[in-house]
């Protein structure tokens, strides 16, 4: 099988209705979509991604109102957040109804739900009478895809269709928020900054890096990782350390000069974290294909989307 890349919503709908998988564009990253209510489709997602079944999936709906079909109750704080950020890059962890298969939630009583705003994702979801389970459309543990070609490179021989919605505008996965014991808690930093959420509902908890506890959402430590070793820290220092090697650089806004630099990507000369986030995964992929021994990156300012970016760097890196 070799996937077709196209914009045919009707074809995508038919495939999904037949329990096939379709890669779908969202504003965050591309998702590997399948009927969330079909065990056959959901099993195929885990298999195509080579993803362990203890790592649960997000379900995607076209509108906030239909969430009531899948979750038992919606806390007031979730409602407030939805008013501000739905549709968009925010995922809600809520008590599931029995209609949601246990395979989707890895046996948890909570289900992760998101309403994407990408126009093609919206059109597709509106045409379906079931939600789409959709993890990021990358093999388990590798860098998330932000272009149709990224999906094709890695899953092109496993799925029939990739719905082409262009380059993902946000470029980082959704922020995941849950409400354990009524306390708003961010489980994955993503496309909506913690500060923006706090503007709406006040101070929230942020669940920090856990090592290898798979029951903690989005928290597997080795994640988003390129195949080349990624070292994070002061670039001039790391360059001095690795001066005998061929180096790829991923910098925020500054350009570096050094004889060992073989390839360099500067994410945002304007120092915009939003722009940096948009290009981050694509840049990591590009560097990963270069003939370099190491990829060196620097920390982002720990604010706004910089916090999510730093989190990705932490999970993708090895110790210098
Ligand atoms: O932006 C996104 O969220 C993208 C697009 C395609 O929507 N999707 C995405 O899915 O990033 P995925 O599967 O790569 O990451 C979802 C994370 C997983 O790490 C999983 O552990 C967590 O969400 N998650 C999903 N359901 C959960 C649940 N019931 N309880 C705890 N964590 C859950
Ligand atoms: Mg993922």
The backbone region for 105, taken as left when phi is positive above 0, alpha when psi lies in -120 to 50, beta otherwise, is alpha
Nearest residue (CA) to ligand 1, atom 12? 135
CA of 56 to the centre of ligand 1 (A): 7
pLDDT in tens, 45-94: 999 999 999 999 999 999 999 999 999 999 999 999 999 999 999 999 99
Nearest residue (CA) to ligand 1, atom 32? 217
Atom of ligand 1 nearest to the CA of 31: 6
pTM of the model: 0.95
CA of 243 to the centre of ligand 2 (A): 34
Cβ-contact 149, 178 below 8 angstroms: no
Q: Strand 247-251 to strand 205-206: parallel, antiparallel, or no bridges (unpaired)?
A: unpaired
Nearest residue to 115 via CA among 74, 145, 155, 167: 74
Atom of ligand 1 nearest to the CA of 214: 21
Nearest residue (CA) to ligand 1, atom 6? 31
The pLDDT, as a whole number, for residue 191 is: 98
Please count the other Cβ atoms lying within 10 Å of the Cβ belonging to residue 53.
14
Atom of ligand 1 nearest to the CA of 96: 29
Per-residue pLDDT at 266 exceeds 60:
yes
CB under 8 A, 24+ apart: contacts of 77-86? 77/179, 77/184, 77/201, 78/177, 78/179, 80/200, 80/201, 81/177, 81/197, 81/200, 81/201, 84/200, 85/192, 85/196, 85/197, 85/200, 86/115
Atom of ligand 1 nearest to the CA of 137: 6
Tell me the pLDDT band of 141, cut-offs 50, 70 and 90. confident
Nearest residue to 188 via CA among 26, 275, 307, 271: 307
Q: Which ligand is nearest to the CA of 33?
A: 1
CA of 138 to the centre of ligand 2 (A): 7
CA of 141 to the centre of ligand 2 (A): 7
| Residues, CB-to-ion distance under 5 Å, ligand 2 | 136
> What phi and psi values does residue 7 have, to the nearest 5 degrees?
-115, 25
Task: Report how many helices (DSSP H) and strands (DSSP E) the chain contains, helices first.
Answer: 10, 15
The share of the chain scoring above pLDDT 90, in percent, equals 90
pLDDT in tens, 172-212: 999 999 999 999 999 999 999 999 999 999 999 998 655 44
CA of 246 to the centre of ligand 1 (A): 35
Q: Which ligand is nearest to the CA of 113?
A: 1
* d(C-alpha 297, C-alpha 238), whole Å: 9
Query: Which two three-digit tokens encode residue 191?
Result: 């496309």
Cis peptide before 97 (omega within 30 of 0): no
Q: Which ligand is nearest to the CA of 90?
A: 1
CA of 38 to the centre of ligand 1 (A): 18
Q: Which ligand is nearest to the CA of 91?
A: 1
Ligand 1, CB cutoff 6 Å, lining residues: 26, 28-29, 31, 55-58, 89, 91, 93, 105, 108, 110-112, 114, 134-136, 173-174, 176, 217-218
pLDDT in tens, 32-44: 999 999 999 999 9
């Amino acid at each position: 099988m070799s996937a077709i890349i196209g914009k045919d919503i009707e074809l995508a709908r038919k495939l999904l209705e037949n329990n096939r998988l379709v890669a779908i564009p969202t504003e965050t990253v591309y998702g590997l979509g399948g009927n969330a209510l079909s065990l056959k489709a959901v099993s195929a997602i885990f298999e195509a991604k080579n993803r362990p079944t203890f790592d649960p999936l997000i379900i995607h709906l076209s509108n906030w109102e239909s969430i009531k079909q899948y979750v038992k109750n919606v806390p007031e704080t979730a409602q407030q957040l939805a008013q501000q950020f739905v549709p968009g890059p925010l995922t809600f962890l809520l008590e599931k109804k029995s209609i949601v298969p246990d395979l989707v939630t890895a046996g948890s009583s909570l289900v992760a739900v998101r309403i994407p705003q990408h126009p093609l994702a919206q059109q597709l979801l509106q045409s379906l009478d079931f939600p789409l389970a959709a993890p990021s459309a990358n093999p388990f543990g590798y860098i998330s895809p932000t272009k149709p070609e990224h999906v094709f490179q890695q899953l092109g021989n496993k799925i029939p269709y990739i719905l082409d919605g262009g380059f993902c505008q946000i470029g980082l996965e959704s922020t995941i928020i849950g409400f354990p014991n009524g306390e708003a808690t961010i489980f994955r930093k993503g496309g909506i900054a913690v500060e923006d959420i706090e503007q709406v509902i006040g101070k929230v908890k942020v669940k920090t890096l856990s090592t290898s506890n798979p029951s903690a959402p989005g928290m597997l430590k080795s994640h988003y990782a390129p195949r080349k070793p990624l070292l994070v820290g002061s670039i001039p220092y790391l360059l001095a350390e690795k001066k005998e090697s061929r180096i790829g650089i991923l910098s925020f806004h500054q350009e570096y000069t050094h004889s060992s630099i073989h390839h360099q990507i500067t994410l945002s000369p304007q120092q915009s974290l939003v722009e940096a986030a948009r290009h981050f995964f694509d840049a990591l992929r590009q560097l990963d294909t270069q003939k370099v021994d190491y990829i060196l990156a620097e920390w982002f300012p720990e604010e706004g989307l910089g916090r999510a970016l730093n989190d990705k760097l932490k999970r993708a890196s090895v110790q210098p």
